[in-house]
Every structure is written in structure tokens, then in C-alpha cells.
């Protein structure tokens, strides 16, 4: 399995902001050649780091979207490694560091409850996660 380095993380972040960005634009933003950007993108897709590309819509447009907040407690000094893995999960819409009992809060958006169950299982299987608690958002006021 490919180790996701800082360049890969920056590429993923750019794609999260605009999944349709041309490779030449990604290369410019990353300060690398077009070939390097294309090779990195191809490798991330081939190795399953990038699972696909999706459309993001405003929350008020897609009322069918199941939204949840997952609070996550980490073990030891695993924050950077865990955040790297979590950033690779497309259903995690946002990730926040926090203080107190929980180290991270993940905002999750999925289409179905089985999808939510799959995402929660994926997150909980990441090395460095001690515990988690998830709340499904019922309504926004």
C-alpha cells in the first residue's frame, strides 16, 4: 500500500475543493510538473486511496443526505497519521481538531444507513483511534 505523503495530501485537498480541476491546474497549484501530478493522481486511484469523484451540494438541496457527527478519541501521538487516513474517506465532509475528551470531530455525509455503518466501521478500524461516538443529525434549525 502506498504511503500518503505531504504532496499526496495536498493533491487530495485540491481535489476535495474541485474534483473536476484539470491536471495542469493541479500541477501549477502543487508546484510540480504536469506529469508528476498525473502520476500521483493515477497512483492514488490505482492503490485505492482515492475511491472516486463526487459532486458536493449545499445541505439544503439534498435533504435525503444522512449527516452525522463523529467524535474521535486518539491514542498516543497518532494525530497526524489518523488525520491523513481520515482525509482519504470521501464521506467525511469536514474534519476538526478539538479539545477535551475528544481529539477530532468528523462531519459525515452519506446516502443510506448501511453507508453510514460502513464509514463508521472504516473509521473505527484505523490504528490510533481509541474510541468514538456518533450522533446522526436529525434537523438543522
Given a cut of 80, whether residue 103 has pLDDT beyond it is yes
pLDDT surpassing 80 at residue 80: yes
Mean pLDDT of 81-106: 93
Instruction: Spell out where the chain has E strands.
Output: 66-74, 92-97, 104-110, 129-137
**120-141: average pLDDT:** 92
List where CATH 3.30.70.920 sits in the chain: 66-137
120-126 LR contacts (CB < 8 Å, sep 24+): 120/70, 122/89, 123/70, 123/72, 123/86, 123/89, 123/92, 126/82, 126/85, 126/86
Mean pLDDT of the chain: 89
CATH class of 66-137: alpha beta
Query: Which residues of the chain are in CATH 1.10.10.10 domains?
Result: 6-46
Q: Phi first, then psi: what are they for 39, rounded to 5°?
A: -65, -40
13-56 pLDDT, tens digit per residue, is 888 878 889 999 999 999 999 999 999 999 999 988 888 877 66
pLDDT at 74 (0 to 100): 96
What pLDDT does 136 receive? 95
Q: Please say whether the beta carbons of 12 and 92 come within 8 A.
A: no
| Higher pLDDT among residues 63 and 81, named by residue | 81
From 8-17, 49-58, 100-109, the region with the lowest mean pLDDT: 49-58
Percent share of the chain, pLDDT over 70: 91
CATH 1.10.580.10 fits 6-46, yes or no: no
| DSSP strand pairing (66-74 vs 104-110) | antiparallel
What does the CA dihedral 124, 74, 59, 16 come to, rounded to 10 degrees?
A: -90
What pLDDT sits at residue 18? 85
Q: Are strands 66-74 and 92-97 parallel, antiparallel or unpaired?
A: unpaired
Burial bucket for residue 29 (CB in 10 Å: 0-12, 13-18, 19+): middle
pTM score of the predicted model: 0.58
In this prediction, residue 16 carries a pLDDT of 83
Amino acid at each position: 500500500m502506498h504511503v500518503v505523503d505531504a504532496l499526496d495530501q495536498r493533491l487530495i485537498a485540491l481535489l476535495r475543493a474541485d474534483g473536476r480541476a484539470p491536471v495542469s491546474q493541479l500541477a501549477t497549484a502543487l508546484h510540480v510538473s504536469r506529469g508528476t501530478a498525473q502520476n500521483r493522481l493515477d497512483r492514488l486511484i490505482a492503490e485505492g486511496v482515492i475511491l472516486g469523484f463526487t459532486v458536493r451540494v449545499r445541505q439544503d438541496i439534498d435533504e435525503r443526505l444522512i449527516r452525522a457527527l463523529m467524535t474521535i478519541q486518539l491514542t498516543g501521538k497518532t494525530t497526524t497519521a489518523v488525520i491523513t487516513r481520515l482525509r482519504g474517506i470521501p464521506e467525511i465532509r469536514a474534519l476538526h481538531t478539538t479539545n477535551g475528551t475528544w481529539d477530532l470531530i468528523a462531519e459525515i455525509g452519506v446516502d443510506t444507513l448501511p453507508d453510514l455503518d460502513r464509514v463508521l466501521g472504516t473509521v473505527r478500524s484505523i490504528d490510533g483511534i481509541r474510541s468514538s461516538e456518533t450522533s446522526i443529525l436529525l434537523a438543522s434549525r
